């Protein structure tokens, strides 16, 4: 999953950015703040893979960026947002992923999102998920995972062969570790899009292959459901009854 966070004081600009990124199922929105100082908790707890940063703010912007690169093993990529090109050279020298001029051109933003999605997904070379418990190491092929179900402070992995593997960590732990085809649809469920075969908005339920029971989804995760249905529709022949 390509997680991203927006640092932008202009609410309309931030909203427009989110609207474009919401079109892509691979992206997960972590939030918005007006300044980089206000974003520290999210950056150091949620570890976004992409930060879209307002470049027109305080002079200590780069000190914060350097700290992020210093303390995180896998620091995020940065896209600069600015009303001028004055800092473009500095951004390039600091390996920024892109530099966008405000007001944001929607086409350029969409191109940047597509390029980052491609880069983000290309890093997904590890198919196996390692579940460690004391001296026990259990390796699971992510393509065999149908869904994850929360059970208090542990998580049940329901596999395509009908078996269940228990991990003694919370569901939230795995939300950003899994590939982008895994989507959280409920406080207790993460589903593998590749196994979803029905979404019923009337009953707030979805069906997955190899599982007899329907899986509920809630309004809290409706954006994820919308991304899920868009992703499935893109690879389907659509028939309207």
pLDDT band at 2 (very low <50, low <70, confident <90, very high): confident
Confidence at residue 137, expressed as pLDDT on a 0 to 100 scale: 86
Q: Is the pTM value of this prediction over 0.85?
A: no
Pick the CATH number of 2-122 from 3.40.50.2300, 3.90.230.10, 1.20.120.530, 1.10.260.40: 3.40.50.2300
Cα dihedral: 56, 59, 63, 68 (round 10): -20
Contact 48, 5 (CB under 8 A): yes
Q: What is the mean pLDDT of residues 39-53?
A: 93
Confidence of residue 58 (pLDDT cuts 50, 70, 90): low
Phi, psi of 239 (to 5 degrees): -125, 120
The pLDDT assigned to 232 comes to 78
* Top-confidence range, 107-111, 219-223, 225-229: 107-111
| Structure confidence at residue 93 (pLDDT) | 83
Average pLDDT over residues 141-168: 92
CATH 3.40.50.2300 residue ranges in the chain? 2-122
Alpha-helical (H) ranges within the chain are 11-21, 40-46, 61-71, 88-93, 106-122, 171-175, 222-234
Q: What does the pLDDT read at residue 235?
A: 62
pLDDT at 147: 95
Mean pLDDT across 203-207: 94
Residue 238 has a pLDDT of 52
Q: What is the spatial distance between Cα 179 and Cα 139, in angstroms, rounded to a whole number?
A: 15
pLDDT in tens, 63-107: 899 999 888 888 899 999 999 999 888 888 888 999 999 999 999
Per-residue CA distances from 199 to 63, 82, 205 (Å) = 46, 40, 6
Confidence band for 236, pLDDT divided at 50, 70 and 90: low
Strand partners, 99: 80
Output the CA–CA distances (angstroms, integers) from residue 47 to 64, 69, 85, 102, 116, in the order listed. 15, 12, 28, 26, 16
In tens, the pLDDT along 13-43 reads 999 999 999 988 789 899 999 999 999 999 9
Work out the average pLDDT over 192-209: 92
Whole-number pLDDT of residue 26: 83
Separation CA 66–CA 83 (nearest Å)? 23
Mean pLDDT of 112-125: 77
pLDDT of residue 224: 87
128-234 — its CATH code? 2.40.50.1020
What is the rounded average pLDDT of the residues 153-177?
90
Within the chain, which residue ranges are assigned CATH 2.40.50.1020? 128-234
Q: What is the mean pLDDT of residues 104-133?
A: 82
Specify the pLDDT at position 122: 63
């Amino acid at each position: 999953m390509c997680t991203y966070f927006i640092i932008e004081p202009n609410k309309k600009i931030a909203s427009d950015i989110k609207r474009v990124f919401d079109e892509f199922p691979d992206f997960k929105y972590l939030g918005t703040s007006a300044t980089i100082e206000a974003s520290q908790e999210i950056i150091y707890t949620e570890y976004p893979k992409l930060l879209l940063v307002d470049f027109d703010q305080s002079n200590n912007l780069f000190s914060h960026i350097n700290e992020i690169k210093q303390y995180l093993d896998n620091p995020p990529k940065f896209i600069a947002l600015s009303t001028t090109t004055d800092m473009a050279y500095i951004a390039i020298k600091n390996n920024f992923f892109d530099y966008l001029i405000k007001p944001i051109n929607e086409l350029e933003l969409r191109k940047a999102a597509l390029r980052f999605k491609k880069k983000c997904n290309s890093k997904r070379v590890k198919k196996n998920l390692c579940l460690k418990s004391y001296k026990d190491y259990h390796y699971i092929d992510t393509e065999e995972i149908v869904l994850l179900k929360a059970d208090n402070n542990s998580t049940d992995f329901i596999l395509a062969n009908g078996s269940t593997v228990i991990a003694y960590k919370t569901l939230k732990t795995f939300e950003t570790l899994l590939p982008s085809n895994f989507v959280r649809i409920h406080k207790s469920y993460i589903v593998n899009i590749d196994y979803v075969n029905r979404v019923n908005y009337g009953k707030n339920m979805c069906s997955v292959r190899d599982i007899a029971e329907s899986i509920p989804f809630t309004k809290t995760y409706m954006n994820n459901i919308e991304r899920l249905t868009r992703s499935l529709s893109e690879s389907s022949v659509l028939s309207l009854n």
